[in-house]
Each structure stands twice: as C-alpha cells, then as structure tokens.
C-alpha cells in the first residue's frame, strides 16, 4: 500500500509539473533582500540541511528550525576520514540510518552532542565554516512528533543539546515534543491525519507550525493573509550550482515574493523540503500547503524553496547530510550549501 501511494503521488506530481511545463521558468529575481537576516527551516533531511546551512553561514543566519532532524554533523562517521570516495559515503550513510534516525544499532548510541559541538567549533577555527560564536545569538526551534517512527525523539533531542553545548541560551531555544504528529510538516488545516507519516509529509494537527517557528525565529509577527497574495516564481537553479548529478540540485526551484517585497528591504526565509518531498515527487505540496506564503505576505518575508533532484545515488531526493556530494558536505564548500548561498546573494542584489 505504501508503495502504491508513493507511486500515485509521483505520477500526480509528474503530471502536475508536466502540465506546468508552460510555466515561466526564468531567473531568480533580485529583490534587494536583507541577506544578513536570513532564517532557515527544514524537515527530515531538510532539517539536517537547515542546520548545516546555519552553521556554515552563521554570520548571515539568525535562526533555524529543525523539524524531525538531529544535530549538525550527526552522520559523519569517525572512520570516514580514513577512506576516500564512495567508501566514506557508505560509512556515513550507515551512521545516518542507524545512528541519526531510529538509533537501531545500539553500538552507535545517541549522538554525542558535546563532541559534535567541539567538531563544529574546530571547523570554524579552521575557516571551513563561519565561527560558531556567530551562532550564540541565534534563535532555534526544534520539533519532534510523538508518532514519528522515522527519526527517534532522542535523536531530535540531541539537536537541542548540540545548540546548548555551542552556547546558545535556553531562552533562545524552543523545543516542541508533545504533539502526536508523524514524520511530517505540521499545519492547522492542510494534509493528512496528524499521526500520518506518508507523502507528501504534510499533516493536519490543528497547529500552525510555520507560524510558530517564524514567531520564535523572528519575534512577534503579524497574522497570515487569508490567501497567498504574492507571486510564486519558478526559477532556473542551474546558474547557482554544479551539474545535477554532482550537486543533487534540481534544474528549477521556487521563490515566493510578496508584493511588498518587490522594492527591497525584506528578510529571507529558506524552507528546505524533506526526502521524497521535492517538486519532482509531490508537486507543489510543500511549497504551497505549509503556510509560509501567507505569513510572508504580512511580514515582509521572501521565502526561498530550493529543490533537490532524484538521482541514482539519492533515490529519495534527500538533501546531502551524509556526504553523497563529497567529503566537504558539512562546510561552506558543500555544493548544495554554496548553491543556496548564491541564491541568497542574488536575492540581495538591488531590485530592478
């Protein structure tokens, strides 16, 4: 049944995007955005990517929301540095599945947050990422559903401990762990029954997760508009990254630009989808049903939805949190991190 349902979603998504093949795919617009006040969020692999982008570019990111994901660097095997190429990736993948999701191998244990924080600090000192001191003033939102059978609560809780070990004050951390949600992005009215963990991984728990996380990351925000009033712009991602087989990035991404942001001065929120949740797989479900656009309308916020692609070494279209794009996946030089940073730089250019 799960396979059939996934297949149906894939076919519907393909049909939807094929039907939109006449959609305008142009350049990512320059809107004079405030790049130095960027916030990020993500679910599942997107949660790991949100954390990786935040830590790599801590000087421009002011907050991160980690939904159903663990701490930065969780999947890096202690042995991966002893081998090269695909062997290192295989070691990391094993660690990712068994030690950063369901913790099914007792040998891995719960992620060592103190060790991961120390490694991040070392990378910052080496210049591979921004100095971790820049993270200390960030706001952090972390979420774990009680019905999530994909990423264990203890794994998600270790993300909270990671930020504490870095020195982020408890007052800056919001940890929501008492909601009967499955492995999914939670909404007030959209999606399947709350406990569901299936495509498109959007569930109705009578809880506006987008509003809650943005309220925590940005401070007091205005109520959302009734319907999205701005523009969803489909843009060419290829100028921002390497070949899709190398970077894992799709040819196109989406950005939502409220009318009030066309003239500049708005902040940017980057929303990273999860595995099997990109446009190629579920159409625009994550882009349009998560509630970010209506909040963007009333809070001068541009929302960037970068997209992955399904490839042979990444059949679920996950973000790279275990090194399938290369050993630098936890640094500023990671292909996906560089691509998203370049997109932000473009959005920050002076509006035409």
- Return the closest-CA partner of residue 316 out of 277, 285, 287, 284: 277
**Neighbouring C-alpha atoms within 13 Å toward the C-beta of 101:** 17
197 an active-site residue?
no
Catalytic residue among 130, 138, 148, 208: 148
Q: How many helices (H) and strands (E) does the chain have?
A: 11, 12
CA 311 vs. chain centroid, Å, equals 19
273 an active-site residue?
no
| DSSP string computed for 154-223 | HHHHHHHHHHHHHT--GGGEEEE--S---SSEEESSSSEETT---TT-EEE-S--HHHHHHHHHHSS-PP
Full-model pTM:
0.91
80 an active-site residue?
no
CA 171 vs. chain centroid, Å, equals 23
| DSSP string computed for 148-170 | -SSS-HHHHHHHHHHHHHHT--G
Q: Which residues contact 90 (CB under 8 A, 6 or more apart)?
A: none
Please report the pLDDT score of residue 213 as a whole number. Answer: 99
Tokens of residue 10, six digits:
């894939």
Burial-class residue 212 by CB neighbours within 10 Å (0-12, 13-18, 19+): middle
Please report the pLDDT score of residue 24 as a whole number. Answer: 82
Please report the pLDDT score of residue 84 as a whole number. Answer: 57
Tally of CB atoms within 10 A around 336: 24
Please report the pLDDT score of residue 343 as a whole number. Answer: 98
Q: Is 127 left (phi over 0), alpha (psi -120 to 50) or beta?
A: left
60-to-158, 164, 249 alpha-carbon distances in Å: 24, 20, 22
- Return the closest-CA partner of residue 145 out of 80, 197, 105, 99: 197
Task: Check whether the bond before 200 is cis (ω within 30° of 0).
Answer: yes
Our CA angle for 75, 156, 212, nearest 5°, is 130
Mean pLDDT by 10 residues, the chain (352 residues): 38 42 82 98 99 99 99 77 58 72 64 96 98 98 97 95 98 98 98 98 99 98 97 97 86 98 96 98 98 98 98 93 93 98 98 76
Q: What torsion, rounded to 10 degrees, do the Cα atoms 277, 278, 283, 285 define?
A: 50
Do residues 150 and 196 touch, judged by C-beta distance below 8 A?
A: no
Catalytic residue among 80, 158, 183, 247: 183
Catalytic residue among 41, 44, 77, 247: 44
Please report the pLDDT score of residue 217 as a whole number. Answer: 99
Please report the pLDDT score of residue 96 as a whole number. Answer: 76
Helix crossing, 335-348 with 45-56: angle to 10°?
Answer: 70
């Amino acid at each position: 049944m799960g396979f059939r349902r996934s297949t149906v979603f894939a076919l519907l998504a393909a049909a939807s995007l094929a039907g939109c093949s006449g959609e305008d795919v142009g350049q990512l617009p320059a809107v004079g955005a405030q790049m130095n006040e960027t916030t990020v969020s993500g679910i599942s692999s997107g949660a790991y990517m949100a954390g990786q982008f935040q830590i790599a570019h801590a000087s421009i990111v002011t907050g991160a929301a980690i939904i159903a994901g663990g701490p930065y660097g969780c999947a890096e095997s202690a042995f991966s540095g002893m081998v090269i190429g695909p062997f290192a990736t295989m070691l990391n993948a094993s660690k990712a599945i068994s030690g950063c999701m369901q913790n099914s191998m007792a040998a891995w244990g719960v992620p060592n947050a103190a060790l991961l924080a120390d490694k991040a600090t070392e990378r910052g000192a080496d210049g591979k990422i921004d100095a971790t001191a820049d993270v200390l003033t960030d706001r952090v939102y972390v979420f774990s559903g009680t019905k999530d059978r994909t990423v264990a609560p203890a794994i998600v809780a270790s993300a909270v401990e990671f930020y504490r070990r870095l020195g982020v004050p408890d007052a800056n951390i919001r940890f929501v762990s008492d909601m009967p949600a499955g492995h999914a992005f939670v909404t007030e009215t959209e999606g399947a029954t709350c406990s569901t963990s299936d495509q498109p991984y959007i569930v109705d728990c009578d809880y506006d997760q987008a509003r809650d996380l943005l309220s925590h990351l940005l401070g007091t925000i205005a109520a959302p508009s009734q319907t999205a009033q701005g523009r969803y712009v489909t843009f060419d991602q290829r100028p921002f990254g390497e070949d899709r087989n190398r970077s894992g990035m799709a040819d196109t991404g989406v950005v939502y630009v409220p009318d009030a942001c066309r003239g500049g001065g708005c902040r940017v929120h980057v929303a990273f989808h999860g595995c099997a949740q990109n446009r190629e797989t579920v159409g625009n479900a994550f882009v349009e049903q998560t509630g970010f656009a209506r909040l963007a309308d009333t809070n001068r916020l541009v929302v960037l939805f970068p997209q992955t692609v399904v490839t042979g070494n990444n059949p679920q279209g996950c973000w790279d949190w275990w090194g399938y794009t290369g050993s630098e996946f936890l640094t500023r030089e990671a292909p996906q991190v560089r691509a998203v940073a370049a997109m932000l730089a473009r959005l920050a250019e002076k509006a035409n």
